Every structure is written in C-alpha cells, then in structure tokens.
Amino acid sequence: MKPIIKNFLLLTLMVAASGLAIAMRPTQKIAEMGPPVKLEAMVPKTFGEWREEPQNQTLIVDPQQTELIDRIYTQTLSRTYINLEGYRIMLSIAYGSDQSDAKQVHKPEVCYPAQGFTLKNKQYGRMLTPNGDIPVTRIETSLGQRNEPVTYWITVANQVVGPGLDKKLTEMSFGLRGQIPDGLLFRLSSIDRDSGQAFEKQNIFTAQLLAALPPEQQKRFIGNHHREQQ
C-alpha cells in the first residue's frame, strides 16, 4: 500500500473515531429532569432530638478551598446540630449537578489530610436505618487534641454507590445512555475521643433526619435502593 493511501486511510479512521466520540458524548443532565435541589430548604433545622446550633458552624471542616468548591459543587450545606444532652453532630452536604470527570466529588479521606489532619483508620460498613441500609465509609481523623470520627456516603443520580469501582461503573452506565448524572456527598462528623460512640450518634442522627423528610427528599439523599457493597 502506497504511503499516501495509508496516511489517508489513517486520517479517515481518526476523523471517524473523533466523530463517534462526539456523537456518543452524554448531553442530557439528570439534574434537569426533576425538581431542583435546594439543600437549605430540604434539610430541616430542627428534627427528632436535634436542633441547629449556628454559632458552631466554624467547627466544620471545609472540604476544599472556596474556588474549588465553587467549581466542583452546585450547592453546599454545612451545619452543626446539638441534642438535649449537648452532643454535637456536624453535617456537611455537597451537591454537584454534573458528575463528569472534571467535577467529581472529593472524598473526606483526601480532604482531611490536605488540611493537616491525620487519617488514623478507614473502614467500610452499612448504616442500618428504618429507611434501608446505606453503604457508608467511616474514617477516624485527628488534628492535635481534636479527634473527629467521620461517616460519609456518595450518591450518583438515584443510587448510593459503594467503594472502589462501583461509583465509576455507575457513572459509565448513565453515560452509555447519553445521560450526565448528578452526585452528592453526605458527611457526618463529631469531635469525640470515643469513635464507637460517635458512629452510634451519627447513626441515630441519620435515622431521625430521614424520618423527618418526605419520601422524595429521602430518595435524594439515600437513593431509590441500596446496593450490596462491592
């Protein structure tokens, strides 16, 4: 085969491949197919045994610098709640309407060390609630005398995703259908030297919060169904 013909065929294949990639690029945002997410209005300031304590919001660790938050997330919500016993739970929710590769939610085990915290332990588990089991990640962090156990989970569109490849495979499944999924990071933490107690309080907090929400808002935070961890 003459070089000029070979080069022409290669160019033709490259152009065809490029056109196919563009044609298959997801264009439909799932976030635009339903009611808009308004975290401030969706999450009650008082529920169960918990009420918001605004003056303690500074206790919450910001996931990233402000400019990075604005680029990745559509909305964020950070609050501190306190119960009648004086126990505090810090809630942080970050929502992104576009879970493309450049706008992935950032995991706490990356964000906390970036701010000087030591990551002491990480484990996967299931949070049992009356509304279903939620696959969660639990980490233990510390900064000086501050010991902060953290529980979090991530949703992609209408599903809570497990660790490892589960999140990426879920995103790809939507991409193959021409859809761009939204995503949400739901994070709870406590300043507590007793990690077991902290995780139990976070379980109670979650169950009472979900019980205070209508079904559609429950689905926004914990998905339509809960899959087995990979």
Mean pLDDT of the chain: 79
In a domain, 6, yes or no: no
In a domain, 12, yes or no: no
The β-bridge partners of 150 are 139, 189
- Answer yes or no: are the C-beta atoms of 109 and 123 closer than 8 Å: no
In a domain, 132, yes or no: yes
For the record, the structure tokens of 37 come out as 């997410």
Among 15-19, 46-50, 51-55, which is the least confidently predicted range? 15-19
- Answer yes or no: are the C-beta atoms of 112 and 61 closer than 8 Å: yes
Q: How buried is 145 (Cβ within 10 angstroms: 0-12 exposed, 13-18 middle, 19+ buried)?
A: exposed
In a domain, 118, yes or no: yes
Question: What distance in Å separates the CA atoms of residue 150 and residue 199, rounded to the nearest whole number?
Answer: 8
Q: Does residue 146 register a pLDDT over 80?
A: yes
Give every CB contact of residue 124 below 8 A, 6+ residues apart in sequence.
135, 136, 137, 138, 162, 163, 229
In a domain, 16, yes or no: no
By residue range, what is the domain housing residue 177? Answer: 27-226
For 96-121, the pLDDT digits (tens) are 877 655 556 678 888 899 889 999 99
Domain tally for the chain? 1
Q: Does residue 21 register a pLDDT over 70?
A: no
In a domain, 10, yes or no: no
Position with higher pLDDT, 215 vs 227? 215
Q: Does residue 227 register a pLDDT over 50?
A: no
The band of 229, judged by pLDDT with boundaries at 50, 70 and 90, is very low
In a domain, 66, yes or no: yes
In a domain, 9, yes or no: no
Q: Percent of the chain scored above 70 by pLDDT?
A: 67
